[in-house]
Amino acid sequence: MIAHMFKVGEVVRPHPSCRVLPHDVFRILRLLPATAGGVPLYCIKSETEMIERVVEQNAIEAAPR
């Protein structure tokens, strides 16, 4: 199983290969259990949207500061 790479409160953006997330910055709200395949999951939220999303670790990357 892969360890979570991001922490709660960190700011991330969609990985360039990710086509399902809007091009926005998101904040990590919660660390979730990994998928059956061992990929860590995160609950994220954009400041411009009202919804929370669940994404796999490989769909996001650290946002530039």
Q: What are the DSSP calls for the chain, one per residue?
A: -PPP-S-TT-EEEE-TT--SS-SS-EEEEEEEPPPTTS--EEEEEETT-S-EEEEEGGGEEEPP-
pTM of the entire structure?
0.92
Q: How many CA atoms lie within 13 A of 54 on its CB side?
A: 8
Tens digit of pLDDT per residue, the chain (65 long)? 789 999 999 999 999 888 889 889 999 999 999 999 999 999 999 989 999 999 999 999 999 87
pLDDT at 65: 75
- Which amino acid belongs to residue 24? D
